[in-house]
């Protein structure tokens, strides 16, 4: 099981440098156009929602992806990488919009062979959300061996947990990240 610990000054400097990775910055620069393409080409039912940044949007996105790829392993195929990227961007953007999140490059969370590893972070949740990993799991749930379908789906469940954490953070007066970690882990 992992642990939460304070980062050293060198680790904090490296974390800041990771955010300036040119490949990550180029990927971020295309966010709006790729998400709009998701709404118009990949999941128009999500694009038609009055509020796209909700658990309902996540539910529809997961259902759309499962219908698009009856064999859940298709999300791993190179020919589907662009569409999978747009679905993952959407999942991350829901958490950015709904919970004051931000995209972060967290290369230590990803495989060694990628130029960057995009995650979403926010103070309320403490840990990073890996939208591409959870999206792929959502496509497989209920169909892959040992991946049961959560009631409402994994993405809806994650959104509910994020909502609860966010509401608790707001009720606590929106403390800083270190203060919130102390509150959550009762270190004070």
The structure tokens 């991946």 sit at 147
The whole-number pLDDT of residue 65 equals 95
The whole-number pLDDT of residue 188 equals 46
Residue-wise pLDDT tens for the chain (188 aa)? 344 556 677 877 888 888 999 999 999 999 999 999 999 999 999 999 999 999 999 999 999 999 999 898 999 999 999 999 999 999 999 999 999 999 999 988 888 888 899 999 988 887 899 999 999 988 888 766 665 566 778 899 999 999 999 999 999 999 988 888 888 877 54
According to the 3-state scheme, what is the secondary structure of 26-39? HHHHCHHHHHHHHH
The whole-number pLDDT of residue 141 equals 81
Q: What is the pTM of this model?
A: 0.89
Give the Cα separation of 28 and 35 in Å (integer): 11
């Amino acid at each position: 099981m992992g642990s939460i610990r304070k980062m050293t000054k060198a680790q904090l400097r490296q974390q800041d440098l990771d955010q300036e990775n040119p490949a990550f910055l180029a990927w971020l620069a295309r966010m709006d156009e790729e998400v709009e393409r998701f709404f118009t080409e990949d999941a128009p039912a999500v694009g038609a929602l009055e509020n796209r940044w909700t658990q309902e949007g996540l539910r529809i996105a997961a259902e759309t992806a499962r219908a698009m790829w009856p064999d859940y392993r298709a999300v791993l195929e190179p020919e589907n990488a662009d569409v999978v990227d747009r679905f993952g961007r959407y999942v991350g953007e829901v958490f950015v919009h709904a919970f004051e999140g931000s995209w972060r490059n967290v290369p230590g969370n990803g495989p060694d062979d990628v130029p960057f590893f995009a995650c979403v972070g926010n103070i309320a949740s403490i840990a990073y959300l890996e939208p591409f990993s959870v999206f792929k799991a959502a496509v497989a749930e209920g169909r892959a061996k040992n991946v049961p379908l959560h009631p409402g789906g994994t993405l809806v469940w994650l959104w509910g947990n994020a909502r609860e954490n966010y509401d608790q953070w707001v009720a606590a007066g929106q403390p800083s990240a270190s203060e919130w970690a102390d509150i959550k882990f009762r270190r004070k």
